[in-house]
Chain A
Amino acid sequence: MRLLEILGSEFFQRALIGGVLIGITAPLIGIFLVLRRLSMIGDTLSHVSIAGVALGFLVGVYPVAVGLLFAIAASFAIEKLRKAYKTYAELSIAIIMSGGVALASILFTLGKGFNVNVNGYLFGSIYTLGNIDLVTIAIVTVVVLIAMRTQVKELFLLTFDEDAAAVSGLPVRFYNVMISVLTALVISASIKIVGALLVSALLTIPAACSLIIARSFRQTIFAVVIIGELAVVFGLLIAGVWNLAPGGTIVLLLIAILLVLILFKPGLRTGS
């Protein structure tokens, strides 16, 4: 049977491990981005980190690491621009995103030889996860889980009401930087799983789903992880059995879950 055959293969097991870990971290970070109206930040950072990946190939350094550095730099640039254009926060995101793609396209053409590899980063290549990739993902997962375990209350306050957070003495700037860095970490680690073009789906769609069903913040946290995991695990299995692109399958499955939730909970959370 095809399913057992797939489950028995080492590359699929690696894919499953990597996917399950990212299925926890990406939605967890995503919920804070969505609630702070920064849904597009995932897309931006992933596009910029592609430029880093390209540079990594060009100079022969672990591409994910260079991608991470680029993503962190971009997240700081966004914070800076966000202050400059306070009322047009999306503007900073658009500028940085196109900057990242522009840089990536130049770096691509500089090193024509690695086009095949770059495709893997654009659309994901979860079946080629190496040991170093898995270790990176595991470290990122541990960092995110520790941050969430210890700082979730503060992040909640910051996300719910930034002014109140500042007045209650919370070091708001520190937490903003923390969210940016964690986002950059998660995105760089997820790129090989679903691809740079699809990373933001893994961040935002579970959050979009949980906003429909969850009543409390606590429920939201659990809901995003469960939904993320469902999509990753079943997405990988479906993709494996029918030989589909894994990243795309995971994302379409997420959208399917969202559609089902919207259809079966009509008008329940209109916010009034």
Chain B
Amino acid sequence: MLQNQMGDACHQDIISLEGVTFSYQQQRVITDLDFSVKERDFVGLIGSNGAGKTTLLRMIVGLLKPESGVIRLFGEPVSRFKAWDRIGYVPQKNSFNPLFPATVREVVLSGLYGRNKIFRSIGKADQIKCEDALHAMNIEDLAGKRIGQLSGGQQQRVFLARALINNPSLLILDEPTVGIDTETQEGFFHMIKHMHQHHNITFLMVSHDMDMIRSYLGERPVAESGKLKFYKKHSHELQDCVENDLTHSLRGLRQQMESRKEVVAVVGDIG
């Protein structure tokens, strides 16, 4: 039981769906879907055209309302959810006008213009955040270019940088590699894997690329609903969580020792 509690504390439900149903006019797209994404999970979502992948993402981020059922973000129903800066969302490409007169830097900075910051002007700290995000995506040299002049792969990095500028704990990506050549795709996926493993970010990613999902998340879906298939990977599973807590507090350490024999075995001398 103790282990369960600890598991809950470490791996909180970031997204949870209970009995979610959605239809477009007469057409039922998603039926009675239960699913949850826990902290540090990497979830890949695959499905044929019209399976409801984008619909599901749009419901999760509150752009669409489910017909029935409840969606929670960080334990809070979406309609009451306020901490949007914890979520980075990268919509499908082509959702912007290529002639739009904005530089890469302006687009990345716009990730900071959320509800909580109305009436606040962009200060030095924000500029630094922006440079960090540009640096993380390796696009510093493009900062002054007009967004429409970049290649598809570069634009995707810009949108990822915009999503990262708030240091989100959850990243939601909708078909991030559409229209990008294979080589760039691989680099992109490598980058995402790195962020997942080293920056404590939970991922939910829609993709049509089976190979990519298989190579990282395994052959078998953990859940299916209609034509949707969910693939999942926990980062380092519980082990990492224990390590984190070890450094955090002695009390946490004791709890873990009580609840996890292998930990006791490792640090047995101290106990």
A residues at B contact (CB < 8 Å): 35, 37, 150-151, 153-154, 156-157, 160-161, 163-171, 210-211, 214-220, 269, 271-272
Interface string of B150-163 (1 = CB under 8 A from A): 00000000000010
Contact at A156–B114, with CB atoms within 8 Å?
no
Residues of chain B within 8 A of A151, CB atoms compared:
118
Q: Which of B101, B103, B110, B148 contacts A210 (CB 8 A)?
A: B101
Which residue of A163, A165, A171 has the most chain B CB atoms within 10 A of its CB atom? A163
Q: Does B5 contact A (CB under 8 A)?
A: no
A214 to B98, CA, bound (A): 14
Contact A167 B99 (CB under 8 A): no
B146 touches which of A37, A167, A216 (Cβ 8 Å): A216
In the complex formed, the residue of A with least CB distance to B166 is: A168
Within 8 A of A (CB), among B78-130: 82, 84-85, 87, 89, 91, 95-103, 106-107, 110-111, 113-116, 118-119, 122
Let me know if A211 and B101 touch, CB within 8 A: yes
Chain B residues within an 8 Å CB radius of A216: 101-103, 106, 144, 146
Q: Could you tell me if A170 and B100 are in contact, using CB atoms closer than 8 angstroms?
A: no
Contact A168 B111 (CB under 8 A): yes
Distance of A217 Cα from B107 Cα, bound (Å): 10
- A267 CB to closest chain B CB, in angstroms? 13
User: Of B82, B89, B101, B107, which one neighbours A220 at CB under 8 angstroms?
Assistant: B101
Pick from B58, B100, B103 the residue with the most CB of A within 10 Å.
B100
Let me know if B113 and A157 touch, CB within 8 A: yes
Instruction: Provide the bound-state CA to CA distance between A165 and B112, in Å.
Output: 10
B89 touches A170 (CB 8 A): no
Instruction: Give the total number of A-B pairs whose CB atoms are below 8 A apart.
Output: 91
Task: Check A160 against B82 for contact (C-beta < 8 Å).
Answer: no
Q: Report the bound CA distance from A215 to B146 in whole Å.
A: 6
- Cα-based distance from A215 to B103 in the complex (angstroms): 7
Q: Which chain B positions have C-beta within 8 A of A218?
A: 106
Asked if B62 and A166 make an inter-chain contact with CB atoms under 8 angstroms apart, the answer reads yes
Q: Which of A154, A219, A220 contacts B113 (CB 8 A)?
A: A154
* Secondary structure dominating the interface of A: helix
B45 within 8 A of A: no
Q: Is B212's CB within 8 Å of the partner chain A?
A: no
Complex Cα spacing A217 to B95, Å: 18
Shortest CB distance A225–B (Å): 14
B interface with A by C-beta (< 8 Å): 58, 61-63, 82, 84-85, 87, 89, 91, 95-103, 106-107, 110-111, 113-116, 118-119, 122, 144, 146, 148-149, 162
Please tell me if the beta carbons of A169 and B101 are within 8 angstroms of each other in the complex. Answer: no
A269 x B89 contact (CB < 8 A)? no
Docked pose: A51 CA to B102 CA in angstroms: 38
Task: Decide: A271 and B113 in contact? CB cutoff 8 A.
Answer: no
Q: Could you tell me if A169 and B116 are in contact, using CB atoms closer than 8 angstroms?
A: yes
Q: Select B162's contact among A150, A164, A169, beta carbons within 8 Å.
A: A164
Instruction: Give the CA-CA distance A168 to B63 in the complex, in Å.
Output: 11
Task: State whether A167 and B101 are in contact (beta carbons under 8 Å apart), knowing that A157-B110, A160-B107, A216-B106 are contacts in the complex.
Answer: no
User: In the assembled complex, how far is the CB of residue A69 from the closest CB belonging to chain B, in whole angstroms?
Assistant: 28
A169 touching B115, Cβ below 8 Å: yes
B87 touches A167 (CB 8 A): yes
C-alpha gap A211/B148 in the complex (Å): 12
| Contacting pair A219 B101 (CB below 8 A) | yes
When C-beta atoms are compared, the residue in chain A nearest to B87 turns out to be: A167
Residue in contact with A170 in the complex, picked from B63, B98, B115, CB distance below 8 Å:
B115
Interface pair A271/B99, CB less than 8 Å apart: yes
Q: A167-B89, A169-B115 are in contact. List 11 more A-B contacts (CB 8 A).
A: A35-B100, A153-B113, A166-B61, A168-B84, A168-B85, A168-B89, A168-B111, A170-B114, A216-B103, A220-B101, A271-B148
CB < 8 Å neighbour of A156 from B82, B91, B106, B115: B106
Q: Flag if B119 contacts A150 (CB, 8 Å).
A: yes
Q: Which residue of A lies closest to B89 (CB)?
A: A167
A171–B91 CB distance below 8 A: no
Would you call A272 and B98 a contact (CB within 8 A)? yes
B101 touching A215 by the CB < 8 A rule? yes
Are A164 and B100 closer than 8 Å at their CB atoms? Answer: no
Shortest distance between the CB of B87 and any CB in chain A (Å): 7
- How far is it, in angstroms, between the C-alpha of A211 and the C-alpha of B101 when the chains are bound? 6
Contacts of B61 in A (CB 8 A): 166-167
Give the shortest distance, in Å, between B154 (CB) and chain A (any CB). Answer: 13
A168 touches B106 (CB 8 A): no
Contact A164 B115 (CB under 8 A): no
Within the assembled complex, what's the spacing in Å between the Cα atoms of A219 and B61? 32
Interchain CA distance A5-B152 in the complex, whole Å: 59
Q: How far is the CA of A216 from the CA of B105 in the complex (A)?
A: 9
- Within the complex, what minimum Cβ distance (angstroms) separates A149 from chain B? 10
Q: 26 interchain pairs (CB within 8 A)?
A: A35-B97, A151-B118, A154-B113, A156-B110, A160-B102, A160-B107, A163-B58, A164-B162, A165-B113, A166-B61, A166-B62, A166-B63, A167-B62, A167-B63, A167-B89, A168-B84, A169-B82, A170-B114, A170-B115, A171-B115, A216-B106, A217-B102, A218-B106, A271-B98, A271-B99, A272-B149
